[in-house]
């Protein structure tokens, strides 16, 4: 089953902090928006709404993981 990877679902223990940082921290908001846009693009490709090569999809997935790691680090260190 194809699903979106929402941060609040993946990090439920940080749901409130994610919300607070989105509204108060510009750097976090940019990370969040970049992750959300990338996740949406990957979802569209995986659901065959938007065509892309396997290499492109894999590159996008790697970037999503990189951003997610940065977000997790931000959440645990701030």
Whole-prediction pTM: 0.88
Q: What share of the chain is helix, strand, coil (3-state, %, to 5)?
A: 80, 0, 20
- Name the residue with higher pLDDT: 32 or 9: 32
Report domain extents, the chain: 7-77
Percentage of the chain beyond pLDDT 90 is 78
Distance CA 74, CA 62 (A): 18
């Amino acid at each position: 089953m194809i699903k979106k990877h929402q941060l609040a679902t993946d990090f439920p223990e940080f749901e409130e902090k994610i919300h607070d940082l989105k509204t108060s921290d510009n750097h976090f908001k940019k990370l969040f928006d970049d992750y959300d846009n990338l996740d949406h693009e990957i979802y569209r490709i995986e659901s065959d709404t938007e065509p892309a090569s396997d290499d492109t999809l894999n590159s996008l997935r790697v970037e999503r993981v990189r951003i997610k790691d940065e977000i997790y680090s931000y959440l645990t260190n701030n």
